[in-house]
Amino acid sequence: MLFESERIHVTATFPAGAGTRIDGTAARGVAWLAVRVFEAGEAIPKEYDHARPVARVLERLPRNESHRSAMPSAFMPVDGKAHEVVIPRSVLTSIPPDTIVGIDWEFAPES
């Protein structure tokens, strides 16, 4: 992982047919935003099918702006606050432009 945000305690809702092992349920756990780097030739998992070269991520951002991501509606923060995570532009510019990255929210259920 190139970047991981702070862990946020949430209740996550997984619709039936979502392709997870806990489809059709709700679970408590933590969610976080992550930037995963894929090596050349590495198979990209289904959950990262939107992965693209970091140069494309950067060209979609306004000049000199960082990447911002609001928490998806499937995650309800326990603290009741709206959460937006900022990935500093410097994190993205620190790697070669043809590097494939996947930016996605991750979830881990409570044990």
Domain range for 26: 3-109
Count how many domains the chain has: 1
Identify the H or E element spanning 91: helix 89-93
- pTM as predicted: 0.86
pLDDT, tens digit, 9 for 90 and up, residues 62-99: 999 999 999 999 999 999 999 999 999 999 999 999 99
Pull the structure tokens for residue 55: 């140069």
**How far is the CA of 62 from the CAs of 19, 65, 107, in angstroms?**
33, 5, 28
- Give the amino acid at 109: P
Q: Contact 25/15 with Cβ under 8 angstroms?
A: no
Residue 85, φ and ψ in degrees, nearest 5: -105, 140
